[in-house]
Amino acid sequence: DYVLANAGATLPKRDPVDVRVVKQVTTGKIEVHPDAKPSAFQFEHRRLPGDSYKQGIITEVSQVGGYPVYKGTPYKDSDDDGMPDAYELKNGLNPKDASDAIKIAKSGYSNIEVYLNSVVPVSIVKPN
């Protein structure tokens, strides 16, 4: 139960893919979409039969509903290092230098790790 309650990217909320996976694990039922249109990405060497989704083993994400469409406006990230420009400026980093993402901060973590750990306030992260 602990793993199901905490696995995946759960904060600030679970995304639809994790919700689907947890539901399938807890119920033991796989909602399949055998007639769904395959995604653009296809594996070159398929090792499982095309109907393996019947046993809950998917060979194509569309067989279980596909990927969700995420909406929203991304934060501006001029150097594409994964950290928004506003965060970099606030924390003394250069929003035009992608290499600062991997530099080690005073905490001993890379700047990108420090940023990612700041996305969700520590006050709502409650380990059991």
| SS3 assignment for 6-49 | HCCCCCCCCCHHHHHHHHHHHHCCCCCCCCCCCCCCCCCCCCCC
Check residue 101 and give its pLDDT. 97
Where are the chain's structural domains? 2-64, 85-122
Check residue 107 and give its pLDDT. 94
Residues 6+ away with beta carbon under 8 Å from 55: none
Give average pLDDT by consecutive 10-residue segment, the chain, 128 residues.
Answer: 80 83 88 73 68 74 81 94 98 97 96 92 70
